Chains A and B, each alone.
Chain A
Amino acid sequence: MGIVPKETIEVTAQSIGITNLSPEAALMLAPDVEYRVREIMQEAIKCMRHSKRTTLTASDVDGALNLRSLEPSYGFASGGPFRFRKAIGHQDLFYTDDREVDFKDVIESPLPKAPLDAGVVCHWLAIEGVQPAIPENATLEVIRAPADNKIYEHKDGPLIDVRLPVKHVLSRELQLYFQKIAELTVSKSSPALFKKALVSLASDSGLHPLVPYFTNFIADEVSRGLNDFLLLFNLMHVVRSLLQNPHIHIEPYLHQLMPSIVTCLVSRKLGNRFADNHWELRDFTANLVSLICKRFGNTYITLQSRLTKTLVNAFLDPKKALTQHYGAIQGLSALGHTVVRLLILSNLEPYLSLLEPELDAEKQKNQMKSYEAWRVYGALLRAAGLCIHDRLKVFPNLPSPSPSFLHKGKGKIINAEPRKRKLSADSSENQPPHKRLITTDGPDVLRPHDHTGPAPMHVDKPIGNYNLPQNSAQPSSSEQASDGESRNGKEKERGKSRAITMKAILGQIWKDDLDSGRLLVKLQQLYGDRILPFIPSTEMSVFL
């Protein structure tokens, strides 16, 4: 039936005192009521349209009743949507939430504020077809960095012209805004307020005139406050917000900002060496650097190369402090896997040999130094691991290996828990890898195990090529996997052409496999088991 069931009619009849309404009458009335309601709503929508609105209000319904020369429904036109409540115990009975108000309360309560009077505000929506970047205007699409937009911008011209006058005559509001933000950044007293300020910085349009002031401010404060950890952190947050703001065209100021940012990444001393968690700041800044490179790398071709040069210099200079090395490694690893592979991995061996004495608790008596060394070691491990992970992920999706393969792969993952610097220095990191594979008992005690017990797994392991020494196992196992794949492929689709493309792909994989296989082996030699968590399970099953 329609939207008005006959029960509604019956209830309505009861409510106005008709108790003996026959069901037939209700049944007859229901469709008519629905028709009338629709009719009123149709008129109400007309009223709404003529009031230039897109949401229906009670006054529109009143207007519609008026059009039909009917009594309007009084008492609803107070504005605001109605709240309907479900009657408890009934599934589909609703009533308007209309609470009783004590007359005394109404009289005694102070007069509410008078609503503001209507007014008209004027602004330029567009000047010769270009929307100026003023707070009154909505988000602009014009102010964006991408290269293809550039010509378009130039053609429309006056973007710069619009900005110049504003830059020199900074309005009072903007001055106040700048002062307030600067104050908040320096004072560090109210983190909550600062957070709000950051949100505002990241989203408000019309802040563009302030950008040069902010860049100056950041540069000044960073050079002045290298010992003030919190200040530095706040400043980096400000930089991040400025970068996030879609209305700000930060590119021209990047060259002023970069030195400050790099400082926060690779400076020898950021805040107190012991008390402050300057590692976190370095991590944060590294992310910032990668963000910048991602966004402006296309337009500023020299940006990344200059940055990497700075970082690599810091990384490879043995005289620099370990903290600086850490920052450089984090920065480099944030720049992407190619950078890591070319610059870090190629220097990994000599660097690790330098680092080793520092790691050794017996040789390095200074607790702090040792801690820092472990930090650096962790960063290196992470960089290398992420790189190899990515490398392996690049391959086209391998057909999923057979269940037994998968099972073993999983088993391995569980076994290989990250143990970074928790391990004592004498832990067997230089142990030959193949041995480690077989004798997993040693460190097992430390690891959580969700398998029922290690025993069945040990039984499983010798099946297949698993017990071969790692170096020789690598190519052969991947070959075997490839064979399996091609067999699988052929089974799946017997089409000849498919098989050919499959072969081509496999050839490529094969080549890449060798490449990254070698890399993996090298890493395995250097890091031992610690690299394993970074290797996806399917790939692991192929390589190990």
Chain B
Amino acid sequence: MDPEQVDEFVMGYLKKKGFNSAAKHLQESLHNNNGSTFSSIDYHNDPELNKLIRSFSQSENDPSRYREGYSKLRSWGYNSLDLYKHELVRVMYPVFIHCYMDLVGKGHTQEARSFFNSFRKDHEMVHLRDLQKLGGVLAPSHLQEMEFARSLRQSKINIKICQYSYDLLLQYLHRTESTLMLGIINEHINFQVYSGQPNSASDDIEAVTIVGSFHETADHVNQKEIHWGLLEDSLEDRLEKTGGLLSDSEKGQGESKAGDMDDSKKRSAEIGKQGSSIKKLKKDKAGTATTKVARQETSTVLSSMPRVKPELAMPVMSTDVEESILEDLRNRVQLSSVAMPSVSFYTFVNTHNGLNSSSISHDGSLVAGGFSDSSIKVWDMAKIGQAGSCGLQDENNQTVGLNGRRNYTLLVGHSGPVYSATFSPPGDYVLSSSADTTIRLWSTKLNANLVCYKGHNHTVWDAQFSPFGHYFASCSHDRTARIWSMDRMQPLRMMAGHLSDVDCVQWHPNCNYIATGSSDKTVRLWDVQTGECVRIFIGHRSMVLSLAMSPDGRYMASGDEDGTIMMWDLSTARCITPLMGHNSCVWTLSYSGEGSLLASGSADCTVKLWDVSSSTKLTKAEEKNGNSNRLRSLRTFPTKSTPVHALRFSRRNLLFAAGAISKPSS
């Protein structure tokens, strides 16, 4: 190429990019030196550089280059060696969405659209929901406005790739001189190259979820220390204390055993407190019956869990309530994969599509429904039960209802659809949240509204009492979750950090943490005392709708819009295994009293029981071996076209379920 021509190109490029002073300098030096001596790199005679410069000077804005570049890369990727293909194909998705966003950002709406439509099929399998969101982005301003797009633009995506695949990719990009693709890849992808053979295609889900800058922060956040142990001096402890008297020798033995367990636990160093507070192993000599033995086993499991002190001032429980709870716990049925629970189903009838939420009190005697007409209705099933035992007699009750006497308590006060209504643990209060941005506290004894908590700026999606009452957590469309106490009008803590609506909230059994599920497809764990985010759980592919914490405080289950349930280990923030089986929204999850079973209720009109006991006994080694298939679906109970809205294991391990019957659409 003619040197002057090259100079011209360089000039043109600099001018176009607005580097005016650089252009001026270049011009000056060209004039002074007649274009041959000023540069240490002889760019005039280097053909590679020439080409590069030429490609830069080519029509920068030509939108067809994106399609060309991408389709070349794509066909190369799909034709590559099978062994490395999935790793290379994984690169396609970020390149694809960034090509699209580049095109949109430059204002080529038409081209962007046709580009998007011609290649979206490739990624729909995994990224359907993201693509649906992105499909709406049509103008540069939308890129700025849309949270999702912005976070994608600002952050780099981490992709694990093996050395060979990486080399292949680089070779390809250099050989074909697709600087555009190279640019995109450099700008938006952060390769984590590892040596050795490529991983199998299916093993890491994380590799394909793109959640903006989450991964780094998540990795950082997840380093923090959490104490997932149960509260010391909890009712379970007291149950053990009252359960049997220990002779001195047994006591000593128990302690030494507990000590052994401590040593074997890797986490014992992390949790400083538990050494002293570990409760003694209980030996009940009278316990010969098999159920009792079984109970002992589980209670030893529980008692081997570390104990932590509450960070909040805990409410004092009246002795009556405490006694009744202890009585319940003593009479708890032991559930396992061979001993299934009984399920009592409360069917809402004639709701005319107006039932937004429902919940069941801890003893199953009260059922509350939050309706879209701003009302809350509370049914006292114990009373209905008195009028005639379960079953067919209920219809008689309904006729009573029809005759003018309502058989429920109507709570009116909200001015928008009620999205949650939950009972306090003893069942004396109802907490409701609504689209009118308020949370209201109702007394089931007085049948009246006690307090209206204002603080959220948008619809409050969910509100939940802490396991010991008094405190409650709420979450909202304003992307925050808040902690309240019943006696204050203002929230005590505010948890901000989710990138989209916070859809559900759940307390950790030791009251020191809350978990929140969000439309940004993550679940976060927050420290109640500090208000900090201590864990981020990434893995869901759609909005998280339901959460449940295992009674031992070690695991969490979360259900999403697609019907996937994920079991998480709180300490590592890893997903133990996804539980697949539902094919529609998982509205509700509940652990059985001793944590061996997980019940899930879904919009596909089924209640499923999952065996999760094996996983809680997983040793570290087994975890590493990746025995993820230990969790299994035990039983499926189909209902008669009734989506399951709420589930609750009573303290005695009877499972209550609730849902509104939906007429099959005709």
Could you say which residues of chain A place their CB within 8 Å of the CB of B194?
Answer: none
Flag if B401 contacts A122 (CB, 8 Å).
Answer: no
A123: contacting residue among B356, B385, B390, CB under 8 A: B390
Given A54-B585, A126-B343, A117:B401 Cβ within 8 A? yes
Given A32-B139, A49-B543, A125:B607 Cβ within 8 A? yes
Flag if B357 contacts A120 (CB, 8 Å).
Answer: no
Q: Does A171 contact B (CB under 8 A)?
A: yes
Q: Does A34 contact B (CB under 8 A)?
A: yes
Flag if B459 contacts A67 (CB, 8 Å).
Answer: yes
The residue of chain B having its C-beta at the shortest distance from the C-beta of A173 within the complex is B392
The residue of chain B having its C-beta at the shortest distance from the C-beta of A52 within the complex is B645
Could you say which residues of chain A place their CB within 8 Å of the CB of B372?
Answer: 51, 59
Could you say which residues of chain A place their CB within 8 Å of the CB of B635?
Answer: 126, 129
Nearest CB of B to A505, in Å: 38
Q: Does B638 contact A (CB under 8 A)?
A: yes
Flag if B461 contacts A57 (CB, 8 Å).
Answer: no
Could you say which residues of chain A place their CB within 8 Å of the CB of B394?
Answer: 121-122
Given A1-B113, A129-B341, A136-B347, A119:B401 Cβ within 8 A? yes
Could you say which residues of chain B place their CB within 8 Å of the CB of A116?
Answer: 349-350, 402
From B138, B357, B645, name the one whose CB has the most chain A CB atoms within 10 angstroms.
Answer: B138
Could you say which residues of chain B place their CB within 8 Å of the CB of A53?
Answer: 353
Chain A contact residues (Cβ within 8 angstroms of B): what range?
Answer: 35 or more
CB under 8 Å from chain A, chain B span 379-422: 379, 381, 384-385, 390-392, 394-395, 397-398, 401-402, 406-408, 416-417, 419
Could you say which residues of chain A place their CB within 8 Å of the CB of B354?
Answer: 118
Could you say which residues of chain A place their CB within 8 Å of the CB of B135?
Answer: 38
Could you say which residues of chain A place their CB within 8 Å of the CB of B341?
Answer: 126, 128-129
Given A35-B137, A39-B136, A54:B603 Cβ within 8 A? yes
Bound CA span A51–B370, Å? 9
Contact with B along A33-62 (1 / 0, CB 8 A): 011001100100010011111110101000
Q: Does B657 contact A (CB under 8 A)?
A: yes
Nearest CB of A to B265, in Å: 34
Flag if B110 contacts A51 (CB, 8 Å).
Answer: no
Given A123-B391, A125-B637, A126-B637, A51:B356 Cβ within 8 A? yes
Bound CA span A134–B543, Å? 36
A52: contacting residue among B110, B349, B356, B640, CB under 8 A: B356
Q: Does B109 contact A (CB under 8 A)?
A: yes
Could you say which residues of chain A place their CB within 8 Å of the CB of B660?
Answer: 52
Given A79-B353, A117-B401, A138:B136 Cβ within 8 A? no
Nearest CB of A to B358, in Å: 8
Nearest CB of A to B332, in Å: 15
Bound CA span A367–B349, Å? 66
Flag if A35 contacts B142 (CB, 8 Å).
Answer: yes
B350: contacting residue among A34, A117, A171, CB under 8 A: A117
Bound CA span A131–B394, Å? 19
Could you say which residues of chain A place their CB within 8 Å of the CB of B503?
Answer: 46, 49-50
Q: Does B442 contact A (CB under 8 A)?
A: no
Could you say which residues of chain A place their CB within 8 Å of the CB of B397?
Answer: 119
Flag if A129 contacts B585 (CB, 8 Å).
Answer: no
Flag if B461 contacts A125 (CB, 8 Å).
Answer: no
Q: Does A403 contact B (CB under 8 A)?
A: no
Q: Does A12 contact B (CB under 8 A)?
A: no
Q: Does A31 contact B (CB under 8 A)?
A: yes
Flag if B345 contacts A122 (CB, 8 Å).
Answer: yes
Q: Does A124 contact B (CB under 8 A)?
A: yes
Contact with A along B631-663 (1 / 0, CB 8 A): 000110111110101000000000001101000
A57: contacting residue among B349, B353, B609, CB under 8 A: B353
Q: Does A89 contact B (CB under 8 A)?
A: no
Contact with A along B324-345 (1 / 0, CB 8 A): 0000000000000001111111
Could you say which residues of chain B place their CB within 8 Å of the CB of A117?
Answer: 350, 401-402, 406
Flag if A120 contacts B367 (CB, 8 Å).
Answer: yes
Given A35-B136, A127-B342, A46:B352 Cβ within 8 A? no
Q: Does A139 contact B (CB under 8 A)?
A: yes
Could you say which residues of chain B place their CB within 8 Å of the CB of A118?
Answer: 348-352, 354-355, 369, 371, 377, 408
Could you say which residues of chain A place their CB within 8 Å of the CB of B137?
Answer: 35
Given A118-B349, A121-B398, A171-B392, A126:B342 Cβ within 8 A? yes
The residue of chain B having its C-beta at the shortest distance from the C-beta of A30 within the complex is B138
Could you say which residues of chain A place their CB within 8 Å of the CB of B113?
Answer: 1-2
Could you say which residues of chain A place their CB within 8 Å of the CB of B643?
Answer: 52, 54
Given A42-B133, A117-B401, A118-B351, A50:B461 Cβ within 8 A? yes
- Identify the 3 closest CB pairs spanning chains A and B, nearest first: A129-B340, A31-B138, A38-B136
By a beta-carbon cutoff of 8 Å, the part of chain B in contact with chain A is 109-110, 113, 133, 135-139, 141-142, 339-357, 367, 369, 371-372, 377, 379, 381, 384-385, 390-392, 394-395, 397-398, 401-402, 406-408, 416-417, 419, 435, 458-459, 461, 477, 501, 503, 519, 543, 545, 561, 584-585, 587, 603, 605, 607, 609, 634-635, 637-641, 643, 645, 657-658, 660, 665
Q: List 18 A-B contacts (CB under 8 A).
A: A1-B110, A31-B139, A32-B141, A35-B139, A50-B419, A51-B419, A67-B458, A119-B349, A120-B408, A121-B395, A122-B385, A122-B394, A124-B343, A125-B639, A126-B637, A128-B342, A130-B340, A131-B637
